Structure 1
Amino acid sequence: MSSPGAMDARTTDPPWWPAAGVALMCTALLVALVAVTASAHGAPVGVDWAMHDWALGSRPPWAVHVAVGVTVAGSGVPAYALAALAGAWAFGPGRWRGALFGTLALVSAQLPRILLAELVARPRPPARDWAWSASGYAMPSGHTTTSMAVAVLLTVAVRRGAPGRWRPVLSAVPVVWAVAVGLSRVCLGMHWPTDVLAGWLLAAAWAGLAGVFLVLCRRREAGAIQASEGDST
């Protein structure tokens, strides 16, 4: 007889194919965007110049200060601290293991971003337009990819650990924050808008693949439990 845990795991886990579909669709869009950028040798497209010029001409001083605060939280130590917190929250009793899992999950999103940036080697907007410090290639935006990956981890943690009536509101907060980080990169003049779009697409593809991986792992674990209990009977 199957154990209640194994039965629950099979019936409550979502199917893997929607996450796979998201990963495939976002990967295809990202490949198309990278191909267009590469064919132009990294030069910005029309929408890049239009939105870049609009952001520089429309940003008041207070918006620059807000954008700096938002962008600082989207990478480096703050981002990894949030990823570790998300993992610890999601894992409950195994908090240290969860914190390590969250940190490694963020690393797994960073590695393809670094490789893709080196492959595309797209220059940033002119340094005279920057309102904050920046380094490295432009596409995909590192802050954008990192913050959206962290937002995915935080959303999973909220859905696992937050009270039911607060989940819809709390689940939206990380996504709003990650979107704000991406927009701040354009506001500060350090990225073209298509760099930010590439970061969102990469993070979405990563999230889809991670979702497939987790669902299949849970199903395999449930199957192992079921087989073990079948052998014991």
Structure 2
Amino acid sequence: MPSRPSRPTRAVLGLLPPALLFALITWQVAADGPLLRPDERLSRALVHPDRASELLADLGGIQVAVPVLVLVAGYAAWRGRAAGGARWWVPSLAALAVMVLVPLIVVPLKIWTDRPGTPAVPPATGYYPSGHTATAAVAYGAAALVLLPWLRTASARRLTLATSALLVLAVSFGLVRRGYHWPLDVVASWCLCAVLLGALWLLLERERRARERLRTAAGRPCQTGAPRPSTRTTRTSDPSASRPYRGARKPQDTP
């Protein structure tokens, strides 16, 4: 009977679908494939520039999303250090590192694909993938991941994850509604960030298990290797060995 894949292995395999979908969309954009035709039709049906959509899109800007992540990462690091946890700085540093990866991945793709924008924006290129969507997804998603261990109740954790997801969806809707991006630009950024956040989650889970092992090891008694003294009574053939010592016996007078 084949062995069942471990949880980390299943998680890594779970990153393959968004990675493959991202590769497919990127190929279609670079090759001007047939998938772009329905994308353009959907954009024309959804575009309706207004102030509300512009404000929603701005939530994905670097000036808004990145400071949120920095504040949450600082708070998580402070809590970890105050709790005396080992490697307390790893979750916050990892979240910030994933944020740094976003422009390093997105900017070269924008230059390479050279996709033009929608009719709602001035003529230009470099709209694929959506940088605002990627910034929002990683900033708000990573902030939620590093904050979860410090939330006491399950309802608070669910609320944090739901708020993060709603912020990303709001930014995505605003970008498409305002005409800043084609729908596929946004979907591709979702796929890319699913891989990045999935990798971050795997790292945080590994750190959490390592801390639990350290706490478990610290709670065990120290094994010195010295033999424990025996409490069993050893029987001997000499009956006097088990008698208490009563002092020297007085000699008896002989008649």
Q: For each residue in 1:184-218, what CA deviation from the matched residue of structure 2 results, as whole angstroms up to 9, or x when unmatched?
A: 11111111100000010000011122223333455
Residues paired across the two proteins, number: 210
Deviation at 1:219, TM superposition (A): 5.2
CA contact (8 A) 1:88 1:102 kept: no
* Match in the other structure for 1:79: 65
Secondary structure at the aligned position of 1:110 is classed as helix
Deviation at 1:158, TM superposition (A): 3.9
Q: 1:55 aligns with which of 46, 57, 63?
A: 46
Match status 1:189 vs 2:179: yes
> Which is higher, the Rg of structure 1 or of structure 2?
2
1:155-166 paired onto structure 2 within 5 Å? 155-164=144-153, 165-166=155-156
**In the aligned structure 1, how far is the partner of 2:13 from the partner of 2:143?**
22
* Match in the other structure for 1:200: 190
CA contact (8 A) 1:117 1:139 kept: yes
Of all paired residues, the percent bearing the same amino acid is: 22
* Match in the other structure for 1:177: 167
1:169–1:227 distance in 2 versus 1, CA, 3 Å:
closer
Which structure has the higher relative contact order (CA within 8 Å, separation 6+)? 1
1:224–1:65 distance in 2 versus 1, CA, 3 Å:
same
Which amino acid in 1 is paired with 2:29?
Answer: T
* Match in the other structure for 1:138: 127
Secondary structure at the aligned position of 2:171 is classed as helix
Deviation at 1:87, TM superposition (A): 1.2
* Match in the other structure for 2:74: 88
Normalising by the residue count of structure 1, what TM-score does the alignment of the two structures yield? 0.75
Q: Which runs of 5+ in 1 are unaligned?
A: 1-13
1:5-154 paired onto structure 2 within 5 Å? 15-40=7-32, 45-56=36-47, 59=48, 64-91=50-77, 92-94=79-81, 102-126=95-119, 129-130=120-121, 137-154=126-143
* Match in the other structure for 1:6: none
**In the aligned structure 1, how far is the partner of 2:214 from the partner of 2:9?**
22
Alignment RMSD (CA, Å): 3.3
